[in-house]
């Protein structure tokens, strides 16, 4: 296994001074080490993977030093456009080292949303016609691979991809975070589900939130067929909910969202405001971190979420960290009509024994569609 400190130190010796990207569970040891040891000016967690490529382009043009861009391969599609239309040697020719966590690698058990992406990942990299390699887990072999990636990136003025398998990185320095006096996301989620009621359609965002919603329904023996758990496609739950709401004239549609997902495609707020019917309602569970992939912070602390929604055209928006206020806030949202948004401020973290959905995505889709026909 690779010591993250050794990996970062080697890149520092090569002149690398910038790390940017979207956190990944397979890279969380590296991400945590970067967060804990590098100064703020050398590390930026971006809203999405394409934005990280943009930042890396700007950094190189000012410093002549390639940046490291990191991501989970599920976000590979978000960076393809800026990589091929900007950074590619046939366009501006911008060197960078792109470290990609290989979820769904063939032969390694993973969640269903990662299986297809993992299986075709090598073919996707080949299709870019850009240099890439699998990062070896042996420390000495890894150093040679990193040196090769850096040299080729500079010589060819190109992005160079390093594909990282599960278990490649050992533990490094960890970020120390305070636990604020806020309700847990699971407590807030259960309170919100109860306040919304049993008849609404709920589209929940990817990650722990959907797992907690599924487990709550199972534990209480409640009908969860009207819950659509968006197990992949981070940032798109609100648009899925919009699609449901526009075709669902009578029933309420609620999006249970996260702060990282909201930031990733924040422009969707304006589109929702423009097109959503009065039955569209949006709850953002804001814990300030990318909880499912290591707890790295988002930039949501710079955003007044409720005012951003209002500025985007939502009819109503509010924020609270008091679960006792939730029934009243839900009532105010309904009275105002949608699109309406409520930010629920919660603390980071989750139960260690949280389960996973036992339905396949196809089974969950069929159950959701059948439930909405009734």
Are residues 191 and 296 located together in one domain of the fold? yes
Confidence grade of residue 288 (pLDDT, cut at 50, 70, 90)? confident
Which residue(s) pair with 345 in the sheet? 286
Please state the rounded mean pLDDT for residues 213-238: 92
Question: Does residue 353 register a pLDDT over 90?
Answer: no
Are residues 196 and 149 located together in one domain of the fold? no
Strand 316-320 to 340-345 pairing: parallel
Q: Per-residue pLDDT tens for 157-177?
A: 999 999 999 999 998 887 766
Q: What pLDDT is stored for residue 344 in this prediction?
A: 96
Count of structural domains, the chain: 2
Specify whether the CB–CB gap between 44 and 55 falls below 8 A.
Answer: yes
Give CA–CA dist 336/315, Å, rounded: 7
Are residues 328 and 226 located together in one domain of the fold? yes
Question: Does residue 200 register a pLDDT over 90?
Answer: yes
Question: Does residue 291 register a pLDDT over 80?
Answer: no
Please state the rounded mean pLDDT for residues 95-124: 93
The length of the chain is 374
Are residues 236 and 355 located together in one domain of the fold? yes
Which of 94, 129, 164 represents a domain boundary (last residue)?
164
Q: What pLDDT is stored for residue 178 in this prediction?
A: 67
The residue ranges of DSSP E strands in 42-149, in sequence order, are 43-45, 67-72, 96-101, 132-134
Please state the rounded mean pLDDT for residues 242-246: 97
Note whether residue 176 is domain-resident: no
Are residues 152 and 206 located together in one domain of the fold? no
Nearest CA to 113 among 216, 207, 240, 244? 207
- pLDDT, averaged across the chain: 94
Q: Per-residue pLDDT tens for 85-97?
A: 999 999 999 999 9
Q: What pLDDT is stored for residue 177 in this prediction?
A: 66
Nearest CA to 112 among 369, 367, 357, 368? 357
Note whether residue 174 is domain-resident: no
Are residues 231 and 347 located together in one domain of the fold? yes
Please state the rounded mean pLDDT for residues 194-206: 94
Note whether residue 172 is domain-resident: no
Give CA–CA dist 146/149, Å, rounded: 5
Note whether residue 189 is domain-resident: yes
How far from 339 is each of 189, 246, 260, 273, CA to CA, in Å? 20, 11, 20, 6
Which of 164, 194, 209 represents a domain boundary (last residue)?
164
Are residues 94 and 225 located together in one domain of the fold? no
Q: Any idea which of 32-41, 155-164, 174-183, 315-324 has the lowest mean pLDDT?
A: 174-183
Q: What pLDDT is stored for residue 295 in this prediction?
A: 74
Report which DSSP code applies to 47. S
Note whether residue 94 is domain-resident: yes
Which of 164, 196, 212 represents a domain boundary (last residue)?
164
Give CA–CA dist 332/327, Å, rounded: 9
Are residues 151 and 205 located together in one domain of the fold? no
Note whether residue 288 is domain-resident: yes
Note whether residue 175 is domain-resident: no
Are residues 238 and 134 located together in one domain of the fold? no
Specify whether the CB–CB gap between 96 and 184 falls below 8 A.
Answer: no
Are residues 160 and 196 located together in one domain of the fold? no
Q: Which domain holds residue 218?
A: 185-373
Q: What pLDDT is stored for residue 356 in this prediction?
A: 83
Residues 6+ apart with CB under 8 A from 317: 305, 306, 307, 309, 310, 340, 341, 342, 343
Confidence grade of residue 290 (pLDDT, cut at 50, 70, 90)? confident
Q: What pLDDT is stored for residue 349 in this prediction?
A: 82
Q: What is the domain-level CATH number for residue 230?
A: 3.40.50.970
Are residues 241 and 340 located together in one domain of the fold? yes
Are residues 221 and 366 located together in one domain of the fold? yes
Question: Does residue 211 register a pLDDT over 70?
Answer: yes
Note whether residue 180 is domain-resident: no
């Amino acid at each position: 296994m690779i010591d993250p400190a050794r990996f970062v130190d080697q890149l520092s010796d090569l002149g690398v001074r910038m790390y940017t990207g979207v956190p990944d569970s397979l890279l969380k040891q590296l991400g945590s080490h970067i967060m804990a040891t590098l100064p703020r000016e050398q590390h930026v967690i971006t809203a999405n993977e394409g934005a990280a490529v943009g930042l890396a382009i700007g950094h190189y043009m000012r410093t002549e030093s390639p940046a490291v861009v990191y991501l989970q391969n599920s976000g590979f599609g978000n960076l393809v456009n800026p990589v091929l239309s900007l950074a590619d040697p046939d366009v501006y020719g911008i060197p960078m080292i792109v470290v990609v966590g290989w979820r769904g690698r063939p032969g390694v058990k993973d969640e269903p949303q990662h299986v297809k992406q993992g299986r075709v990942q090598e073919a996707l990299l080949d299709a870019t016609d850009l240099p890439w390699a699998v990062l070896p887990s042996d420390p000495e072999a890894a150093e040679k691979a990193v040196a090769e990636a850096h040299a080729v990136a500079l010589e060819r003025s190109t992005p160079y991809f390093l594909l990282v398998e599960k278990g490649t990185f050992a533990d490094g320095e960890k970020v120390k975070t305070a636990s604020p006096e806020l309700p847990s996301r699971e407590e807030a989620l259960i309170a919100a589900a109860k306040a919304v009621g049993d008849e609404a359609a709920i589209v929940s965002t990817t990650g722990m939130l959907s797992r907690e919603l599924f487990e709550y329904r199972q534990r209480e023996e409640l009908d969860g067929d009207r819950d659509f758990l968006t197990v992949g496609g981070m940032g798109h739950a609100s648009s899925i909910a919009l699609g449901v709401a526009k075709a669902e004239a009578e029933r309420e549609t609620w999006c249970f969202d996260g702060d990282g997902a909201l930031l990733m495609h924040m422009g969707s707020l304006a589109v929702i405001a423009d097109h959503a019917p009065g039955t569209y309602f949006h709850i953002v569970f804001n814990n300030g971190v990318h909880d499912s992939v290591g707890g790295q912070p988002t930039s949501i602390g710079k955003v007044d979420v409720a005012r951003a929604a209002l500025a985007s055209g939502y009819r109503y928006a509010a924020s609270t960290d008091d679960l006792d206020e939730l029934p009243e806030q839900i009532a105010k949202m309904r009275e105002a009509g949608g699109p309406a948004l409520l930010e629920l401020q919660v603390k980071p973290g989750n139960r260690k024994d949280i389960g996973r959905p036992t339905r396949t995505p196809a089974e969950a889709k069929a159950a959701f569609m059948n439930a909405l026909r009734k």
